[in-house]
A and B are shown apart, each in its own frame.
Chain A
Amino acid sequence: MEAGSEPLPLDILITNVVCVFRVRCHLDLRHIALKGANVMYKRDEGKVVMKLRRPRVTATIWSSGKIISTGATSEDEAKIGARKCARCLQKLGFQVRFGAFRVVNVLAVCSMPFEIRLPDFTKQQRPLASYEPELHPAVNFKIKPLTASMQIFSTGSITITASNVARAAQAVEHVYPLVLASRKGT
C-alpha cells in the first residue's frame, strides 16, 4: 500500500490484523481440546487457542462461541483465516454458523526516509503528542477522529494502530506533513 500524494512512495506494511467473529453456538472446549488439531487448552482462563498454518493465524475460542483471531497480514486473509477456523470447528461436529465478522484492530509499520526531531515535534503537536524519554523512546501521537494512534521514533519509523487498514493509511497521510516539518534536515 502506498501513500500516493507524495512523489516518494511510502510503503506501509501491515503486520497484524485482529478480528472477532461468532459461530452462533455454544462450544464444548474440552471436546475441541481432545479431538482438535493444533490446539492448546487453557483451562484456567477458559479458552482454547487454535493455530492455523496457512494463513498464519491464531484464534482464541471461548465456550460462548465468540472467537478472536490475530496474526493475519491483511483484512482478506483475516476473513479467510476466520472461516477456516469455523470450518475446523464444524468438522469437529458443532453446528457452526459464521457470523458477525468484524476487524477490530490493525497494526502497521511505516518508515520515513528521514530522521525526526522528537522534542520539536512534540512541542508543535502539544495535546495530541506525548513524549516521555524516561519511559519510552518514541512519541505517542493520537488522532482522535480516526481513532488511530501511532508511535513515532527518531529514526523515522512509525508504528500505527488503527481500527482498519483504510484508516491506518489515512493516519499516515495525515501525519506525514507534520513529521516532515520537524525532520532533521531543516
Chain B
Amino acid sequence: MPSKVCQNCGCSDIDVDHARGDAVCTGCGSVLEDNIIVSEVQFQESGGSSTAIGQFVSSDGPGRGLSLGSGVFSGVGKESRAHTLQNGRRQIVQLGSQLQLNQHCLDTAFNFFKMAVNSRLTRGRKSSHVIAACLYLVCRTEGTPHMLLDFSDLLQVNVYVLGKTFLILARQLCINAPAIDPCLYIPRFAHMLEFGDKTHEVSMTALRLVARMKRDWMHTGRRPSGLCGAALLVAARMHDFRRTVKEILSVVKVCEATLRKRLVEFEDTPTSQLTIDEFMRIDLEKECDPPSFINGKRKSKLQQVCLHLPCRRHCQKYSCTALGDGAEDDDHLNVDEEHFVHSLFEHLPNGVTEPDIVGEEQDPEPAMLRRCQGPDLRVLLGPLPTSASLGLKESIVECIEDDGGKAIRASTPGEAIEKMLAKKKISSKINYEVLKGLNGKGDDTRPATPQREGGDRPEETTTALSRTRPQAPLSHKRFVFYIRVGK
C-alpha cells in the first residue's frame, strides 16, 4: 500500500520500483514495501506472437474457471454445488421449454430445485426425476394444465415413479399443492380437439357437465382427465361435432374402458334424462351417491336376488357377463343396439320400457336393457356396451315377474300382443299383416321389428353383423337423424 511518508525518518520522498516490486525511502534507505502486487496485464511469447496471460470468466457465478483449490479438491464443497445447480438449471430450461412454460415458472422451478438440493433430495435419485417433480410442482401451484402424464411421456419414465418423487418433494418443502380441478384441463383438451370457432362454447358446456359430475360424486378418487374426456365427448356431440372416442382417447390419454365407464356412470345420474336445452337452463337439486357405492349396493342386492331365483343356472350365466363388464360381448351388444335404438325412439314420447327380447333359452346373447332414456346420451354415444349390469338387474326382475305372471307393460294393444308373442316365442308362426289390420295402426316400423324378433335368430344376427361391420357411416346417419328428433 503506497504510503507517502516514511515511518523512520518522516521523509516523503519514496521511490517505487515496479520491476523489482520495491518501495524504498530515499532519505534513510529503508525498504518500506516488498513484493508489491501489480495489477497489470502481462504478456508471454509463444511461437512468435505474444499473448496476454489470463482467463475468461463468465459473469454469472464462479463458473468452471474458479481456481479456488480446484486443482486439488475437485468435486468437493462449493464448486460441486455450483456445478449441480448449473446442470439443474440447464435441464429445467430444456424440459420447461418443451412444455411451453414461461420464464417465471422456470425461475420458480429453479428455486424449488435449489431448496431440494439443500435438503439433499437429489441424493440417490435420478436428477431428471427431481427436475420433473420441481416443474410439476410449479405447474400445480400456478394452475397450468399440465399433467404428470406429460412429464412421464417426455422422460419415458413410469408415472408412478414420478408421482412418488413429487410427493416426497412436496412434503419436504412443505408446499401444499392445490388439488387438481378437472375444469383446468378442459380448455387445453378442447383446444387440442380443434373445434374451431366454437371452442369456447364447447368448453363452457363441458365445464357445466364437469360441475354437474362433481355434484354427482363422480369425481372423487378418479383421474380428472377421464372425467374431462367424457364431458368433452358429450359436449362435442351436443354441438354437432363428430369426435370419435378414439380421437378423445388420443388427446386425453385414458383408456377406452375408463371413458365408457364414466359415460355409463353419467348415464345413471338423473341429469342424463334432461334434453340439451333443459340441461343448459336447469340444475337438478338432487345429488347422487358415488358410483362405487351404488355398485356395492347393487352387487349385494344381486346376490340376494340370485339366491331366491328358481332359474339359477341362467342367472349365474347372466351375472358372469354382467359383473365381468362384458367386454367380449361388445359385438353382440352393438348388433342389438343398432336394431333397438331405432325402435326405441319410436316409443320415446310414451316412455315405455320394452321387454328383453332374448328369452332365457338363448344364452349367448346377453339380455339387453330397454329403459326410458332421454334422446341425448343414447344418440350421442351410439353403440355402447352399456348397462349390461343394469339390464341384468331388470331382466332378473322381469324374470321374477314373468314367473309370477304379471301384466306386460305396454302403451298400445298392438305392442302388448307383440311383447307377449316375443316372450312366448311363437312369433314366427304369426302373420303380422293380420295383426296390423287388427290394431288399425299403420306404423312403419311395426313389420320390421317383428321380423327381427321372430324368424331365425342366428341368421338375423349374421346378416346384422355383416351389415354393421362398416360401422362408421351407419352410425353417422342414425346419429344425425336422432339429433333432429331430440331437438
Give bound CA distance, A115 to B291, whole Å.
11
Which size bracket describes the interface of B in this complex? Answer: 20 to 34
Quick one: closest A residue to B149, CB to CB? A134
Query: Is A130 an interface residue, CB under 8 A from the partner?
Result: yes
Query: Is B312 an interface residue, CB under 8 A from the partner?
Result: no
Query: Is A141 an interface residue, CB under 8 A from the partner?
Result: no
B289 proximity list for chain A (CB < 8 A): 115, 184
B293 proximity list for chain A (CB < 8 A): 115, 155
- Let me know if A131 and B290 touch, CB within 8 A: no
CB within 8 A of B292: which of A117, A126, A155? Answer: A155
Give bound CA distance, A123 to B223, whole Å.
18
- Let me know if A133 and B180 touch, CB within 8 A: yes
Kindly provide the distance from the CB of B159 to the nearest chain A CB, expressed in whole angstroms.
7
Kindly provide the distance from the CB of A36 to the nearest chain B CB, expressed in whole angstroms.
38
Query: Is A76 an interface residue, CB under 8 A from the partner?
Result: no
Number of interface residues of A (CB under 8 A): 20
Query: Is B120 an interface residue, CB under 8 A from the partner?
Result: no
- Let me know if B176 and A134 touch, CB within 8 A: no
CB within 8 A of A119: which of B147, B170, B176, B220? Answer: B220
Give bound CA distance, A185 to B245, whole Å.
35
Query: Is B217 an interface residue, CB under 8 A from the partner?
Result: yes
Among residues 108 to 160 in chain A, which have CB atoms less than 8 Å away from a CB atom of chain B? 115, 117-119, 122-123, 126-127, 130-135, 137-138, 153-155
Query: Is B171 an interface residue, CB under 8 A from the partner?
Result: yes
B238 proximity list for chain A (CB < 8 A): none
Among residues 137 to 161 in chain B, which have CB atoms less than 8 Å away from a CB atom of chain A? 147-149, 159-160
- Let me know if B176 and A133 touch, CB within 8 A: no
B179 proximity list for chain A (CB < 8 A): 119, 122-123, 131, 133
Give bound CA distance, A155 to B221, whole Å.
10
Known: A115-B289, A134-B163, A134-B180. A127 touches B221 (CB 8 A): no
- Let me know if A134 and B148 touch, CB within 8 A: yes
- Let me know if B221 and A138 touch, CB within 8 A: yes
Give bound CA distance, A103 to B170, whole Å.
32
Kindly provide the distance from the CB of A44 to the nearest chain B CB, expressed in whole angstroms.
24
- Let me know if A134 and B223 touch, CB within 8 A: yes
Quick one: closest B residue to A184, CB to CB? B217
Kindly provide the distance from the CB of B370 to the nearest chain A CB, expressed in whole angstroms.
30
Kindly provide the distance from the CB of A35 to the nearest chain B CB, expressed in whole angstroms.
42
CB within 8 A of A154: which of B147, B171, B220, B224? Answer: B220
- Let me know if B148 and A155 touch, CB within 8 A: no
- Let me know if A155 and B290 touch, CB within 8 A: yes
B148 proximity list for chain A (CB < 8 A): 134-135
- Let me know if A134 and B224 touch, CB within 8 A: yes
Kindly provide the distance from the CB of A119 to the nearest chain B CB, expressed in whole angstroms.
5
Kindly provide the distance from the CB of B155 to the nearest chain A CB, expressed in whole angstroms.
16
Kindly provide the distance from the CB of A136 to the nearest chain B CB, expressed in whole angstroms.
8
Kindly provide the distance from the CB of B149 to the nearest chain A CB, expressed in whole angstroms.
8
A184 proximity list for chain B (CB < 8 A): 217, 289-290
Query: Is B296 an interface residue, CB under 8 A from the partner?
Result: yes
Quick one: closest B residue to A156, CB to CB? B293
Among residues 266 to 320 in chain B, which have CB atoms less than 8 Å away from a CB atom of chain A? 289-290, 292-293, 296
- Let me know if B147 and A134 touch, CB within 8 A: yes
- Let me know if B290 and A126 touch, CB within 8 A: no
Among residues 181 to 197 in chain B, which have CB atoms less than 8 Å away from a CB atom of chain A? none
Kindly provide the distance from the CB of B291 to the nearest chain A CB, expressed in whole angstroms.
10
Give bound CA distance, A131 to B223, whole Å.
12
Kindly provide the distance from the CB of A155 to the nearest chain B CB, expressed in whole angstroms.
5
A133 proximity list for chain B (CB < 8 A): 179-180, 219, 221-224
Interface string of B336-358 (1 = CB under 8 A from A): 00000000000000000000000
A115 proximity list for chain B (CB < 8 A): 217, 289-290, 293
A154 proximity list for chain B (CB < 8 A): 217, 220-221, 290, 292
- Let me know if B167 and A117 touch, CB within 8 A: no
B257 proximity list for chain A (CB < 8 A): none
Q: Give me the interface of B with A, judged by CB distance under 8 Å.
A: 147-149, 159-160, 163, 166-167, 170-171, 174, 176, 179-180, 217, 219-225, 289-290, 292-293, 296
22 CB < 8 A contacts A-B: A115-B293, A118-B220, A119-B220, A122-B179, A123-B179, A130-B167, A130-B171, A133-B180, A133-B221, A133-B222, A134-B159, A134-B163, A134-B180, A134-B223, A134-B224, A135-B159, A135-B160, A135-B163, A153-B221, A155-B296, A184-B217, A184-B290
Q: Other than the known A134-B159, A138-B221, what 4 A-B pairs have Cβ atoms closer than 8 Å?
A: A130-B170, A133-B223, A134-B225, A155-B290
Q: Give me the interface of A with B, judged by CB distance under 8 Å.
A: 115, 117-119, 122-123, 126-127, 130-135, 137-138, 153-155, 184
